[in-house]
Structure 1
């Protein structure tokens, strides 16, 4: 059995900062609240209305993602209203007796909600030339934008040679040296030179041909050069959207995940870039060591691939899947471990993180996987903590805590490992925070007014109780029930309350 949560050592994370209720409403209303909180000026003294114009876009202002800058001073979040917000965390983040209220220092507009972004790997707040991010939007070039003083620094057009339409990358990735970046589209990976402004890719590599390869052919085209690698697998012809990219920073090996549930592994893109292996999640042979492998854990396309610190293992996460796979790249033909209990059976993209260091003091852990679920709970696994043979490689979370009332869309561990940031939100049609007509059959208008007041008071009470709820510990269950049921007491019913925001936790 997996180890139980060590309650005598582990303490639930402490909420140290958050965006409050500013974005817990519709997009237009959230803009009004944000402008009032900022007094009409963003942190870089730009007029709010010059950046954020009035909009009639419907829906809630969902936070799609959040990530730490490389220097650990800032958080960068992508929201549903087509903006990228940069939050600078206060220097007394961990010493303040009360949680800080986060307001954006800068707001960067994009034409549409970005398909994907990639933050400059050497981001340093004190050097404005490094505070940049790559963005991919529909029917637009790839843009390099400065986040502190929002403007487009450079454009990199990616155009289909015959149709002359813009290709939209679903994945972007800076190389280790940040002199180049990679962009993944439908069955292609493109290599760009950052210094070549307003220019297309210097190389375009195809992962699969439209026509099926000759059955007698055993050659796999080299990804980055003209040489070949011999293989007998038909998976070498992989036609699918390149949904995620990851580099092993020790030896620069590249992993490319696709919506067809395959992971393409290449040697260094700086050298030969040879296709070395393919992990096919559709192949049941990769699961043969799991005698009771449940069918319901099958996902619907890879959204995250992450190398571990030593580069020997790969973390693979999918949409519409309640598990996270781990592969030992020395034996990629079989799943090495299955992390269960993720609770992410949704098409909404819920990010997964791997971190070499997590926590502080006696509760510090090394080499953990962290993921949020649709139930608003963040779960932490220790894949290298060991498990007994009879468990067949299934691993339950070591720890978990309530982070939001809506799905946790992203989890980001601070570079030093002692602070965790989460983003949350979900598209909803109902909102109790707005006034609605009541079709009550009550006997008098007084009763209707009382009912409305009770409803508003209930919502207000939920907000007031949030601070204490999120810091309460979820004790581990002694029964063999699914651990996801532990979050039932803190989940809300379908009352339409939106929980969009960013929160920062001290571990």
Structure 2
């Protein structure tokens, strides 16, 4: 027990032995069969004042109890997962006109939300850890309480004119002690326990114009605690840095558009990058970062939106959406296409796997422009008559192998993996 406790202390209080046991209990999802929709949300995102409101992305909480969705009206909506983790009849639901249930929490920002992220050790059993960070235009970084919706603290960065400048991307380091924020050709690092204007600043553009220039739009840390940080830029480059001193290790070139999303593989040996108006997700080998390993296609040629992809908990498959409303699944060991299914009749701008359940969430939507008629009044001009599977969020349940289904259900019940939305609300 002494060795286990010491190992857990080194990993931020997590017992990696238990984590390994849980990993072995993860179900093997079947991607040869299309998943079925269990819950659907669309109507609550539309109002008379803003009928064209659309989703811009979503992220599951680290404990899987809820997910956070960002929309164009500068609002972040928090939804707790149902207690049974699925729908009541087990066969899925179509595209209902009424939402499955309402959001438990709404956080309204003053300007457009650039990025948001969860505290890595968030757990509903510990209210102190129930926080997420947001970055919005012309505002400092906000740290919100996901239980009450209260603003806990702010982290402010200033430019040369001593005016607040907004971060374009944010992320917690693996230890959960610092917030890394991407700006224009610079990274600022805030101590989580010291809110205010104290930060460390690192320029990503070295002398002689070497390094990484442009808006740093996305960042991700290696999940293996190797100390590597990947930072994507609108300058079509991805920089690999050391987390402790932000030393630039190397720069990856090859994206046709500005990099909008980066994610490491579960073992930290590979990096996946996606760009704006770029139809390919690129795979890079971190041990030999000279050439692209393979490319994964998705339909993003004609959209300026960020299209977020995700890797399943077992690390074998990657899912991504596109402007055609399809979700594609790829085998990461071979880079081959496995399957796909129609998730929306709209642009699927985010696909996210649940941390441990055979479930995924998608968000869809894009900005529409209605052409007013001279004979119509303003209210009719705004009536876009959107369908139920446009500008929406859906939850999907994947089929699992039969020999693991009963074992996993017992594990889920015994460990109370379902959220306790009623207690939190």
Which residue of 286, 292, 295 corresponds with 1:338?
Answer: 295
| Counterpart mapping for 1:286-435 below 5 A | 299-357=256-314, 366-384=315-333, 386=334, 395-430=335-370
For residues 409-450 of structure 1, what are the alpha-carbon distances to aligned partners after superposition, in whole Å with 9 as ceiling and x for unaligned?
A: 11110011500000111110239xx99958xxxxxxxxxxxx
- Quote the Cα distance in structure 2 between the aligned partners of 1:183 and 1:353: 21
Q: Which residue of 1 aligns with 2:56?
A: 64
Q: Which residue of 1 aligns with 2:408?
A: none
For residues 114-135 of structure 1, what are the alpha-carbon distances to aligned partners after superposition, in whole Å with 9 as ceiling and x for unaligned?
A: 1111111122223332221111
**CA apart distance, 1:188:** 0.4
Contact 2:54 2:367 in 1 (8 A): yes
CA 1:329–1:505 in structure 2 vs 1: closer, same or farther (change >3 Å)?
A: same
Q: Which residue of 1 aligns with 2:422?
A: none
- Quote the Cα distance in structure 2 between the aligned partners of 1:166 and 1:116: 17
**CA apart distance, 1:299:** 2.6
| Counterpart mapping for 1:85-234 below 5 A | 85-94=77-86, 96-97=88-89, 99=93, 101-160=100-159, 162-201=160-199, 203-209=200-206, 213=208
Contact 1:123 1:132 in 2 (8 A): yes
Aligned: 1:82 with 2:74: yes
Aligned: 1:260 with 2:258: no
Q: Which residue of 2 aligns with 1:219?
A: none
Contact 1:13 1:506 in 2 (8 A): yes
Aligned: 1:15 with 2:15: no
Q: Which residue of 1 aligns with 2:25?
A: none
Contact 2:140 2:167 in 1 (8 A): no
CA 1:71–1:437 in structure 2 vs 1: closer, same or farther (change >3 Å)?
A: farther
- Quote the Cα distance in structure 2 between the aligned partners of 1:12 and 1:138: 39
For residues 113-168 of structure 1, what are the alpha-carbon distances to aligned partners after superposition, in whole Å with 9 as ceiling and x for unaligned?
A: 211111111222233322211111122211111122122101111001x3112221
Contact 2:131 2:144 in 1 (8 A): yes
* TM-score (normalised: structure 1): 0.66
- Quote the Cα distance in structure 1 between the aligned partners of 2:318 and 2:259: 16
CA 1:301–1:200 in structure 2 vs 1: closer, same or farther (change >3 Å)?
A: same
- Quote the Cα distance in structure 2 between the aligned partners of 1:94 and 1:139: 40
CA 1:246–1:150 in structure 2 vs 1: closer, same or farther (change >3 Å)?
A: same
- Quote the Cα distance in structure 2 between the aligned partners of 1:123 and 1:436: 53
Length, aligned pairs only: 357
- Quote the Cα distance in structure 1 between the aligned partners of 2:174 and 2:132: 15
- Quote the Cα distance in structure 2 between the aligned partners of 1:243 and 1:105: 29
**CA apart distance, 1:266:** 1.6
- Quote the Cα distance in structure 2 between the aligned partners of 1:143 and 1:396: 40
- Quote the Cα distance in structure 2 between the aligned partners of 1:241 and 1:424: 25
* TM-score (normalised: structure 2): 0.78
**CA apart distance, 1:16:** 0.5
| SS in structure 1 at match of 2:128 | helix
Cα RMSD for the two superposed structures? 2.7
Q: Which residue of 1 aligns with 2:20?
A: none
Q: Which residue of 2 aligns with 1:277?
A: 250
CA 1:300–1:95 in structure 2 vs 1: closer, same or farther (change >3 Å)?
A: closer
Is 241-250 or 87-96 further displaced after alignment? 87-96
- Quote the Cα distance in structure 2 between the aligned partners of 1:189 and 1:437: 53
| SS in structure 2 at match of 1:115 | strand
- Quote the Cα distance in structure 2 between the aligned partners of 1:114 and 1:169: 10
- Quote the Cα distance in structure 2 between the aligned partners of 1:12 and 1:125: 31
- Quote the Cα distance in structure 1 between the aligned partners of 2:120 and 2:358: 20
- Quote the Cα distance in structure 2 between the aligned partners of 1:309 and 1:150: 32
- Quote the Cα distance in structure 1 between the aligned partners of 2:352 and 2:134: 19
| SS in structure 2 at match of 1:22 | helix
Contact 1:342 1:371 in 2 (8 A): no
Q: Which residue of 1 aligns with 2:220?
A: 246
Q: Which runs of 5+ in 1 are unaligned?
A: 1-7, 30-55, 214-233, 282-297, 358-365, 387-394, 439-451, 467-498
More relative contact order in 1 or in 2 (CA 8 Å, sep 6+)? 2
For residues 157-183 of structure 1, what are the alpha-carbon distances to aligned partners after superposition, in whole Å with 9 as ceiling and x for unaligned?
A: 1001x3112221111010111111100
Contact 1:355 1:417 in 2 (8 A): no
Q: Which runs of 5+ in 2 are unaligned?
A: 1-29, 94-98, 399-425
- Quote the Cα distance in structure 2 between the aligned partners of 1:113 and 1:191: 22
